[in-house]
Amino acid sequence: MKERFLEIDAFRGIAVCLMVLFHFLFDLNYFRGLSFDLSFGLWLFVGRSSALIFLLLVGISLTLSNANALQDGLGGKERRWKFLKRGFGVFCLGLLVTAVTFLLFPQETIWFGVLHLIGVSIIIAFPFLKFKRLNIALGILAIIAGLLLWNLSFGFAWLLPFGFQPYGFVSFDYFPILPSFGVVLLGIALGNWLYAGGKRNFRPLILENSDVSRLLAFLGKNSLIIYLLHQPVIIGVLLFLA
């Protein structure tokens, strides 16, 4: 069994905690009419930090998965097929989120959210898995391009996954390829430095025997399940209390 690095799971657990907090405040606003300003200051930082950590860890995890596949003797076509299947599976979960939000909240349907983005990233990242400096340059360019597109609107919707938002577009969750895949590329570069060959090349600052670290790592290992279930649980509790 391949080694799991506790610090990666723990940082993913931190992202999970930040995500749940941000979505809890969002739901208080949406369902209970409270007025937390999530577009500025501390709460904006909480939401953006969660997304940033998740996407960086996607890139780092891809380098580890690729290194493990190489150690298992998998060739290029086999590794490409492995990432294709994994990415398609995550993307299908994103389509499930799209279907549910379309039925329940048609005006704010999640057409291309974080699961869609992660699924596509796993598929298209394969050619970039061996690069370091190039990924930094491409990642920065992708982020800049996405930020330039963010406040623009267009008269078409077919390029929505790439960051071209149609007029009047509203969604609960939107993670376009530009700039989001740029963060994944930075994560790949980081993973190739910190975990070259699938081995940790630094001394982690996190306390591996700490109960807090183990709890965060547990949350990180189950991040996908938590992502899929936390909103129905929060919304159900709020509606019950209402």
User: How far lies 164's CA from each of 77, 107, 112, 160, in Å?
Assistant: 32, 18, 12, 5
Residues 15, 21: Cα–Cα separation, whole Å: 10
- The answer to whether 165 touches 153, Cβ cutoff 8 Å, is yes
| Strand ranges (E), 67-164 | none
**Which distant-in-sequence residues (6+ apart) come within 8 Å of 235 by Cβ?**
27, 31
Closest alpha carbon to 51 in 110, 113, 5:
113
Closest alpha carbon to 120 in 92, 99, 159:
92
pLDDT digits (tens, 9 = 90+) for 73-125: 889 899 999 999 999 999 999 999 999 999 999 999 999 999 999 999 999 99
Which amino acid would we find at residue 149? Answer: L
Please give the model's pTM, rounded to 2 decimal places.
0.95
pLDDT digits (tens, 9 = 90+) for 176-230: 999 999 999 999 999 999 999 999 988 877 666 788 989 999 999 999 999 999 9
Tell me the Cα Rg of the chain: 19
pLDDT digits (tens, 9 = 90+) for 143-169: 999 999 999 999 999 999 999 999 999
User: How far lies 212's CA from each of 11, 139, 215, 217, in Å?
Assistant: 11, 33, 5, 8
User: To which residue do tokens 């657990």 refer?
Assistant: 13
